[in-house]
Amino acid sequence: MSNTTQQQAILVLEDGTVHYGKAFGVIGTTTGELCFNTGMTGYQEVFTDPSYYGQVLIMNNVHVGNYGVKDGDVESSSVKIRGLIGRNLEETYSRRQAQGSLNDYLKANNLVAIEDVDTRSLVEHVRTKGAMNCIISSEILDVEQLKAELAKVPSMDGLELASLVSTDKTYEMGDPNSEIRVAVIDFGVKQNILNCLVERGAYVKVHPAKTPAAELKAFNPHGYFISNGPGDPAAMPYAIETVKEILKEEKPVFGICLGHQLLALANGIPTFKMHHGHRGLNHPVKNLVTGLCEITTQNHGFGVDPEAVKKADHIEVTHVNLNDKSIEGIRLKGKPAFSVQYHPEATPGPHDSRYLFDD
């Protein structure tokens, strides 16, 4: 059952493409970079992932909202996407544990959405033309006016967003008496990454993005975790410096997604903005160390330069994407530091890559 008011909504892309649909969530206007996710489940985890901050999301799955929402299915305390585009966004849901409908959830989180859009052709357009900014509105229905508003939106290239989603104060998780202490640098960390560390017995202290290295060291951790997050890694010199500092300690360092890109940048490997990025729960990645393939969860719009990595004597490539051969994992030679571009915590799944937390 779609929105009872059936109010019209319009989606306008940076290249002038216009899609008409129906309003869902709150009535209003929103802008951001357009991206798509191929996952069939886990929509609530996706909407609350801090790495999506500043982005308008197209969901590939035909029905989104059909199993409702519940408090436990989140990666952070609020919805982080800027807007939502779907073929059928469902108000009616079926799941015993559900606590409410997607529409009420989006309204509570002040999110503008549009449904009844041909998402297949839209995704094909993004795959061909690349990521671009867009605007959704259910209040301004004049296309020329929307184009004028859209022209004011900055490109994601060069945007520093991690400090906007990071925690503003330190907090701990796990058993304070544990023999494993991990200092987490929060650039937009997902709740289930922290859960995966705690489940393995770690006592975790989560620090704000701009915490100086000296303060991280004061926790006296056995290892460091560099988190995922939104925005352009090259626009984060403060974070690159922190990573360089903690690498001097010869303690284990593990990075995921943005953390992977920052580890590369701290070792002189440049990053680049991808054509349309990787987002979904079904990306095949080969582990070059074991020869095994994993099906992975991904969400990133930037990558590390493959040519520069291959030329670097001090870095070993550990994982590659089997779809486009992009670099999915690296390890520093002679140091206990490694990282992956994808999300091994992978909620709701698949869990092929959780061995990385054991490592």
Catalytic residues: 257, 343, 345
Map tokens 């500092």 to a residue: 245
- Count other Cβ atoms within 10 Å, centred on residue 293: 13
- Count other Cβ atoms within 10 Å, centred on residue 312: 18
What does the block give as tokens for 327? 């670099």
What is the identity of the amino acid at 241?
E
Q: Report how far residue 3's alpha carbon sits from residue 1's, in angstroms, rounded to the nearest whole number.
A: 7
Q: Report how far residue 283's alpha carbon sits from residue 329's, in angstroms, rounded to the nearest whole number.
A: 14
- Ramachandran class of 117: left when φ > 0, alpha when ψ lies in -120 to 50, beta otherwise: beta
Helix (H, G, I), strand (E, B) or coil at 230: coil
Instruction: Residue 344: name the closest of 192, 165, 174, 167 by CA.
Output: 192
Q: DSSP string spanning 279-344?
A: EEEEEEEEETTT--EEEEEEEEEEEE-HHHHHH-TTEEEEEEETTT--EEEEEETTSSEEEESSBT
Let me know: does 264 contact 306? Beta carbons within 8 Å: no
Strand partners, 31: 135
DSSP H or E segment with residue 206: strand 202-207
Q: Cα(first)–Cα(last) distance of the chain, in Å?
A: 46
Cα–Cα–Cα angle for 259, 153, 65, rounded to 5 degrees: 70
Compute the half-sphere exposure of residue 348: CA atoms within 13 Å on the CB side of its CA.
9
Q: Report how far residue 320's alpha carbon sits from residue 306's, in angstroms, rounded to the nearest whole number.
A: 10
- Preceding omega of 212 cis (within 30 degrees of 0): no
